[in-house]
Structure 1
């Protein structure tokens, strides 16, 4: 099942993306797009190829076949321009433990060539969005995992991108920390296009307008949550997302 997004400007495009490591295919002919203003959940079991696909979309690794575009920019041929539109939070975010959030954000702002005025404005903005004011001058190594995730998110937002790709932003967090990240994601979805990888199916219902699912490197579902539930009903008469997830990703 696929959802058409022609009515929205495509901001994230995977076109026949494949990644081979010798005879092993981490991803094979993955094709989908995310339109402007969508928050799409990217699902799949461990080892399904989610992180590999996200890395290809961001230009972090080159695809063996296919094309990745961010805001219309080919991420292999025009990665710098595409990256200006993109905020990327990998599963283990790029943090410097010896720095404070303030120092790290200042470092990234300088690396991006921001003016002094722009730097101050953007740091203030992301500290507010990610609720970091209480820890802004504490060493990152001393922060809880929840705050470390927020620091990682803040650097992804620093240059005010219109596209966000986030890989398991709530992995390993306690329920209160998950609640905080979820609140932040809802706030961001008002102005950003977001592709969010998660294993927490409750987050799909709470935040996503659409689901893209892969299994064993291949796309197995692209549609809304209601349509996904139908796969669970076909499995055992229940309409839970966990039943649908099992039905689409179980081993043959």
Structure 2
């Protein structure tokens, strides 16, 4: 099945890392014909990612963006509309992982985790839904959650709370906007071989072996695996899908 995103305009947050989920998603959607607007708090790197897409022959722009700042969302949305005239797809990908056992998680840690991973999705959805509603042509919003938003994982209490929140927030607003044909779904990656994952495991081969042994498919996923799922949900092939959750994890949560 060839996914068709021709004439679609997509905004992807957290897209500065060349080996991350955001950029993999942006590239996959660009390959299917979408025009891409990338954002990240790391301005230098996200501008480089837009240049990467341009060198591949795709239409792409980028700008700095603090996803926890409501005013910044207004600026970004204004830039998207000024550049492309509309917004069809929003991917709320930006996030961080504050890991640690609950006894070691400070209130500041907790607040930072929820602010970046959950407040940002609320702000992004508010901005995206308002724009799509004004346009009156429907749209697709994809929020990045995690398998940690579905099952308990020791040492992820704050992270899991944020990702579990994303899951049910997504379902609630999907129902609120279903009649307007604005679809809202969540994607739940398992262990994915991103730049962040590579750094974490570089000096600990034993940890990598233990992790992969626990995955039924016996390997980590690639960022493109997530990008492909998101591109599908962004497309008209998924026109009857909303309020749903999609797990891309090599079978982890099926155990």
TM-score scaled by structure 1?
Answer: 0.33
TM-score, normalisation: structure 2? 0.33
Bigger Rg, structure 1 or 2: 1
More strand by share: 1
